[in-house]
C-alpha cells in the first residue's frame, strides 16, 4: 500500500485506536468524564508496533533481522519501564548502552503505570531465553498473546500470508507456548489484515486466495466463518456470546470479537460512531470482556477507519495520542523507509533515535 493512500492509513489508525479503545471500554462502564485508562493489552501492543518498526529499520541497515527477537527486546523494555523484575540475562541491555530503555516509548510516562496483569508474559520474561514454538517458555493459551499482536496485521501488505501467519505465531509463542494461543493469533493477524482492504467482514473471512496454507491456522479460519454465520442468524445475543467466548483464552478473544463485529451493523445498516461504541459495550459483557472488546475494536477499526471512533472518547483515551502516532509511524516505515539504509540517505534524521534498529 502507498503511504499516500489516505483510506488505508485511516484503516490502520482505526485498527490501532479501536484495539486501544476496546481494551479501555472492556474494563467496565465508561465514566461520563475523565480519562479512559488503557489496559495492559494496549501497552503491550504499543511495544509490538515499536518492535516491528525497529525490526524493519534493522533489516534495512543490517541486511538481516529476526523480527521476533527485536519484538522480544521491545517487551523487555516494557517490563523495565513497569519496574518488573526480569531474568538477569536481560539486564545486559542496560549495561551496554548509556540509556536503556531507549527509543520512542522510553519517555512515555503512562507506560510506567500498571494497567492490569500479564502473568504469562511476565513469567516468560523471567526466563533466560526467549520462548518459541519449539522451546515454549510457558504453556499459556491466554488472550494477551493475541491482543498485543493484532497490529502485525498491518504487515499484510508487505509480506505473504504464510509468512505473516508464521511471524504472528512466533511473536505469540515468545510468551504463550500453547498451540491454541499462537495459532489463534496467526488467524487473527490474517483476518484483521484482510479487514484493512475488505469491503465487509464477510469478505474478509471468506475462503479464497490470500489465505495461509498452514493447516492448523486454516482450521481456525474455518471456525471464524462459522462464528460469523452464527452472528448473522442470531446477532447481539449475550447468551450466544458467552458460549462462543467463554474464557480469557486467545481463541475466545478471536471468536468473541468476530461474533460482535459481525453483529454490527445490521443488514443494510451503515456503521457510525454510536454503533461502534455500542458494539464495544456489548463485547464488554463477554466473560472476558476486555479481550473481546479489544479484538472487536481492531476489526471494526480496520474495516471502517479511524473515523468510526468518536473524537470525544479518543480525546479521553490514555495512550490515544501515542497509539495514533505509532500507527502513522508504522505506515511511514513500511512505505517510505525514513531512516534510509545501508546505502541510502535518511529522509528523517531523527528516525534512528526514535526507532533504533535493535
Count of Cβ atoms closer than 10 Å to residue 108 Cβ? 15
Asked if the structure places residue 128 within a domain, the reply is: yes
Q: What is the mean pLDDT of the chain?
A: 93
Asked if the structure places residue 183 within a domain, the reply is: yes
For residues 70 and 55, what is the distance between their CA atoms, to the nearest angstrom? Answer: 6
Asked if the structure places residue 205 within a domain, the reply is: yes
3-state secondary structure of 199: coil
Task: Tell me the residue range of the domain where 149 lies.
Answer: 6-27+36-104+122-354
- Residue-level pLDDT at 96: 60
In the 8-state DSSP scheme, what is residue 157? G
Sign of the alpha-carbon dihedral angle for 283, 287, 290, 294: negative
3-state secondary structure of 124: helix
Q: Is 268 exposed, middle or buried (0-12, 13-18, 19+ CB in 10 A)?
A: exposed
Q: Give pLDDT tens digits for 137-159.
A: 999 999 999 999 999 999 999 99
- Residue-level pLDDT at 209: 82
94-119 average pLDDT score: 87
Residue 169 pLDDT more than 80? Answer: yes
Total count of domains within the chain: 1
For residues 190 and 345, what is the distance between their CA atoms, to the nearest angstrom? Answer: 33
- Residue-level pLDDT at 299: 98
For residues 288 and 246, what is the distance between their CA atoms, to the nearest angstrom? Answer: 7
Asked if the structure places residue 109 within a domain, the reply is: no
**Confidence band, pLDDT 50/70/90 cuts, at residue 268:** low
Task: Say which residue, 210 or 206, is predicted with more confidence.
Answer: 206
* End-to-end CA separation in angstroms for the chain: 25
- Residue-level pLDDT at 4: 45
In the 8-state DSSP scheme, what is residue 34? S
Cα torsion 249, 253, 254, 258 to 10°: value is: 150
Asked if the structure places residue 79 within a domain, the reply is: yes
% of the chain exceeding 90 in pLDDT = 84
Asked if the structure places residue 112 within a domain, the reply is: no
Asked if the structure places residue 1 within a domain, the reply is: no
Q: Give pLDDT tens digits for 239-262.
A: 999 999 999 999 999 999 999 999
Q: At what angle do helices 289-304 and 273-283 cross, to 10 degrees?
A: 150
Asked if the structure places residue 151 within a domain, the reply is: yes
CATH code: domain of residue 94: 1.10.4080.10
Q: Give pLDDT tens digits for 4-60.
A: 478 999 999 999 999 999 999 999 888 889 999 999 999 999 999 999 999 999 999
Sign of the alpha-carbon dihedral angle for 210, 216, 219, 221: negative
3-state secondary structure of 358: coil
**Confidence band, pLDDT 50/70/90 cuts, at residue 2:** very low
Residue 89 pLDDT more than 80? Answer: no
Amino acid at each position: 500500500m502507498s503511504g499516500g493512500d489516505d483510506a488505508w492509513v485511516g484503516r490502520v489508525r482505526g485498527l490501532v485506536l479501536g484495539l486501544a479503545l476496546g481494551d479501555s471500554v472492556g474494563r467496565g462502564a465508561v465514566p461520563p468524564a475523565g480519562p479512559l485508562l488503557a489496559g495492559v493489552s494496549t501497552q503491550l501492543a504499543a511495544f509490538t508496533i515499536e518492535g516491528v518498526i525497529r525490526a524493519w529499520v534493522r533489516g534495512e541497515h543490517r541486511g538481516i533481522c529476526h523480527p521476533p527477537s527485536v519484538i522480544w527486546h521491545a517487551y523487555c523494555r516494557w517490563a523495565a519501564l513497569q519496574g518488573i523484575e526480569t531474568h538477569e540475562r536481560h539486564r545486559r541491555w542496560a549495561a551496554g548502552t548509556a540509556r536503556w530503555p531507549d527509543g520512542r516509548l522510553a519517555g512515555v510516562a503512562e507506560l510506567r503505570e500498571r494497567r492490569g496483569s500479564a502473568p504469562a508474559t511476565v513469567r516468560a520474561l523471567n526466563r533466560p531465553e526467549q520462548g518459541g514454538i519449539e522451546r515454549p517458555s510457558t504453556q499459556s493459551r491466554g488472550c494477551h498473546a493475541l491482543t498485543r499482536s493484532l497490529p502485525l496485521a498491518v504487515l499484510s501488505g508487505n509480506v505473504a500470508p504464510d509468512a505473516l501467519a508464521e511471524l504472528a505465531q512466533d511473536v505469540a509463542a515468545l510468551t504463550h507456548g500453547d498451540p491454541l494461543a499462537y495459532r489463534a493469533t496467526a488467524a487473527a493477524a490474517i483476518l484483521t489484515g484482510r479487514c484493512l482492504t475488505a469491503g465487509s467482514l464477510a469478505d474478509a473471512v471468506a475462503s479464497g486466495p490470500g489465505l495461509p496454507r498452514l493447516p492448523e491456522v486454516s482450521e481456525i479460519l474455518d471456525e471464524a466463518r462459522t462464528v460469523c454465520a452464527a452472528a448473522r442468524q442470531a446477532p447481539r445475543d449475550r447468551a450466544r456470546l458467552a458460549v462462543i467466548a467463554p474464557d480469557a483464552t486467545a481463541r475466545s478473544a478471536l471468536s468473541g470479537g468476530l461474533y460482535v463485529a459481525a453483529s454490527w451493523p445490521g443488514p443494510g445498516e451503515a456503521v457510525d460512531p454510536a454503533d461502534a461504541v455500542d458494539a464495544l459495550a456489548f463485547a464488554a459483557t463477554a466473560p472476558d470482556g476486555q479481550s473481546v472488546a479489544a479484538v472487536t475494536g481492531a476489526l471494526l477499526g480496520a474495516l471502517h477507519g479511524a473515523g468510526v471512533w468518536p473524537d470525544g472518547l479518543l480525546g479521553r483515551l490514555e495512550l490515544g495520542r501515542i497509539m495514533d502516532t505509532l500507527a502513522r509511524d508504522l505506515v511511514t516505515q513500511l512505505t517510505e523507509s525514513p531512516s534510509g539504509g545501508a546505502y541510502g540517505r535518511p529522509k528523517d534524521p531523527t528516525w534512528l533515535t526514535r526507532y533504533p534498529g535493535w
